[in-house]
Structure formats: structure tokens, C-alpha cells
Amino acid sequence: MLELKPGMKAVAVGLGKSGLAAVQYLHNLGLKTAASEYKQQITAEEQAVLAECGAAVELGGHTPEFFADADLIVVSPGVPTNLPVLNAARSRGVPVVGELALAAGRISVPVLAVTGSNGKTTVTSLIGQLLRSSGKKTFVGGNIGTPVLDWLREPDDAKAAVLELSSFQLEMAGAFRPNIALLLNLSPDHIDRHGSFENYAEAKRQIFARQGKTDIAILGADDPLVASKPVTTAGAVLYFGTQPDCRAKIEGQQVRIESGFGADGTAEFYDLSATRLSSLVNAYNAAAAILAARAFGCSVEGIKAGLAVYQPPLHRMTPAGEINGVCFINDSKATNIGAVQAALAGFKKDVVLIAGGRNKGGDFGELIPAFQQHVKQLVLIGEAGPDLAVAAEAAGIGHQFAADMADAVCKGLAAAKPGDTVLLAPACASFDMFNNYEHRGHEFMRCAAELAAALR
């Protein structure tokens, strides 16, 4: 456990939710706090929190002088880890850590941690629902919702913590150790940050690095990039998917849990057909979550009750209405190539795909087979539109460019016929045109609703 003593000086690099949470958490422990932010301005809320903590602040960059007397540096997930001031601090022996390293050893309840390129928000929230439906009060947060340090600062009586974790968080996780850790899948993502797919994948695999003999690792057996390298863990390894050795096996619209959890050792079956998890993508998500919940000790009845009431988060294959027999689906969270491939796998060749945005370093050529199999027309937005157009041409499908989301929705409907689907699955980050993927998804849904109203 990282030593934190009153009177030490801690500098948070980068603000936002996680940076502010670190400042408040360390201030409550009696440390002197400071914050260094690249942006020239911060919000009034951020200013108020920093003032309440008595934190010194520098804006517009990270200067060596500001870090000169730091005893500890806490780096927010979105901040590059190779900044000159951070390298200089490391050379002086100053600990440079992320929020998980601060939390390590300070979480008093079992931790279930979820990572992967796609589906981790759904799986995290679903595990939380399954635990709650089994009578276990649960904190759900991390990379979604409440930062873990905010929860530690104001703990409740939760009996478990379910955390979504990004590669950015895991690469600076220190001694963080989850009791049950899930790696759902791997596809190229955040190459602009990590430099290579290998570095990105290694950051994801850090979720298992500190596990002990009593811990459990859960992996997606059908994902070739997960299966390409054994994970390093001292604990048991369980698999979900369609392979023969999977403990949680997907069989159509049901998940079969092989014997071992129940008192009589018989297999268990969980029907997804009447739930919001009946798609192919969500069958994998459900299998991972059910396996984790059973490994944690949740009852069959509790899990089935949780599956029945679960509502997936917005912007993940969210229905956005129907116009003249054409369905609109919002999958704005599909910000990388693997997510788009997974989304398209649930359709026949009846998709008009709206894609584009800011490329995160992926190779759009990997989408060509999915385009050929499932997509009839591409509507392209944002900076990466021309690069996606190259992939569309290579796939032999038509494409057109749209000026904004309203234009994309109109062109998507014009290219579709009754029975088709207009799918927003961008394969890109949103920051060239929108505040975040949620903003992009809401704009898609708004434009679809306005177009439907205009055509009535």
C-alpha cells in the first residue's frame, strides 16, 4: 500500500472528475495538495473544490518549478505518462501514480474489475445489477459514474465494489488487486496514446498482475487477441464464449453455466430472449457478467431477477425510433474498430452505417470484411471520413459525406428501405465535432426524432 502521511505534498496532474477526486481524497488525509492543468481555464466548480482544499493551482501547462517539492504525483487517466516533469520526478525518486495505486489496499470490500476494448460499461453495470438483485449492496464506478477515490472519501455500507477500468487507469495501477478481474476482448484502440497495440494490450492485462491464489480471472475465449497471449495471474482462470472449455457458454439466446457453482453440480441456464440482452453483442456481455456474479456467490434466482430488469446504458445499441419502416440505432459508444465489428455482426446486409470522427490510431482496413458482409451504404462524418471512404471503396460499397449529424440522419434514411437499419457506430472518438460520445449519441437521437416528426 502506498504510504500517505499528513504533511506530504501531493500534486494532481490534470483535473476533471478523477483529478478533483484525488485532490479531495488526499486533502482529507491531511496532505498538502496542488493541481497542474494543461488547459488555460477550469470550471467554477473545479475552482471551488480546489479553494476548499487549499490547493495551489497552475494552468496552461506543467512547469518544473511547480513540481520541485512534490512528495507524490497523481496523474489523471487522460494525461500522458511521459511528460518531462513526470520523468524528472521519477528520476528524483518521487512516486508518480494513478488513482488505482492510491486506492490499492484501502478498499475494504471485494472488488470486481472489468476491462476490455468493448462492452466494459455494459458488463460493469450489469454485474452491479446482478449483485444488487442478489441482495448485495454494491458500489459501481471507476471509469464510469463516481471515481473510486470519491467513494473511498465518503464510503457507504456497500459489500462489494464493481469497477470499470480503462487502459489509462491500469497502466498506472500500482499494487491495485481485484478479487475478480475480467478482460472481455481486445481490439486496436488508443494507439495514439499507447504507441502500439502491444503496449495497449499490455496495459489491459495489468488488471491481473497483482492477483493472488484466491482470486479469479475471467476472459473472453472467442476473442483471438485475448487468446493470443496467456495472462499472468496466480488465481483461477475462467472463460466465457462459445468454446468447449468455457465455464459460461453462449448457446443462441441463452447462457449455460457449467457445473461447479451449484450445490448439486448441475449446469444452469439463463434465458436472454425476453431481456434487453438478447442481441449477439449482449449475449457475450451477459455471459461475462453472469460468470462473475456466480463466481462471487450470487444466487441463480438473484441473477435471473437482475437479467429481467436490467436496462443497458444509453448509446450502446440503443433504439432511436423508426421512420417509414427504417430502424435507427444509436451505438455512439462504438468508438473503435472492434466495437463496430461487434455491432455489425448482429445484422444481415441491411445496414446504412453512419461513421467517422477523430481517428484513435486504428486501421480502418480491418473493417472491410464487416462492411462487405453487413453494410449497404456508408454515411461519413468528421475528420476520419476520407479514411473511412477508402475502406468503403475497397469493400465495394457506396459512401457519401455529411456536413453534420442532421445531414447524416437525412442521408441515412434516404439510402435505406423499409426493414433496413440506420446505425450510428462511428469507429472514432467524438471530439472533432462533439463534446463526447454521449453528446454525439444524443444529437443522433434528436435528429432522428425531429426528422420523424417532420415526415408525419
Provide the pLDDT confidence category of residue 232 given band limits of 50, 70 and 90. Answer: confident
Distances (CA, A) of 75 to 13, 211, 411: 5, 23, 43
Give a yes or no: residue 346 inside a domain.
yes
Q: What average pLDDT does the chain have?
A: 95
The model's pLDDT over 76-135, given as tens digits with 9 standing for 90+, comes to: 998 999 999 999 999 999 999 999 999 999 999 999 999 999 999 999 999 999 999 999
CATH of the domain at 34: 3.40.50.720
Q: How far is residue 23's CA from residue 15's CA, in Å, rounded to a whole number?
A: 9
pLDDT value, residue 428: 96
Give a yes or no: residue 115 inside a domain.
yes
pLDDT > 90: percent of the chain: 89
- Expressed as residue numbers, the domain containing 53 is 9-97
Asked which of 75, 97, 119 is the last residue of a domain, the reply is 97
pLDDT > 70: percent of the chain: 99
Say how many domains are in the chain: 3
Asked which of 309, 342, 357 is the last residue of a domain, the reply is 309
CB-based contact 207:181 (threshold 8 Å)? yes
Same domain, 260 and 231: yes
Q: What is the DSSP letter of 300?
A: H
Asked which of 282, 309, 336 is the last residue of a domain, the reply is 309
Look at residue 190 and tell me whether its pLDDT is greater than 90: no
* Cell numbers at 414, concatenated: 434516404
Same domain, 19 and 50: yes
Distances (CA, A) of 288 to 21, 271, 295, 338, 456: 30, 14, 11, 17, 42
Provide the pLDDT confidence category of residue 263 given band limits of 50, 70 and 90. Answer: low
Look at residue 29 and tell me whether its pLDDT is greater than 80: yes
Look at residue 169 and tell me whether its pLDDT is greater than 70: yes
The model's pLDDT over 307-352, given as tens digits with 9 standing for 90+, comes to: 999 999 899 999 999 999 999 999 999 999 999 998 999 898 899 9
Within a 13 Å sphere around the CA of 113, how many CA atoms are in the beta-carbon half? 32
Side chain identity, residue 406: A
Same domain, 336 and 441: yes
Same domain, 109 and 88: no
The model's pLDDT over 346-358, given as tens digits with 9 standing for 90+, comes to: 898 899 999 999 9
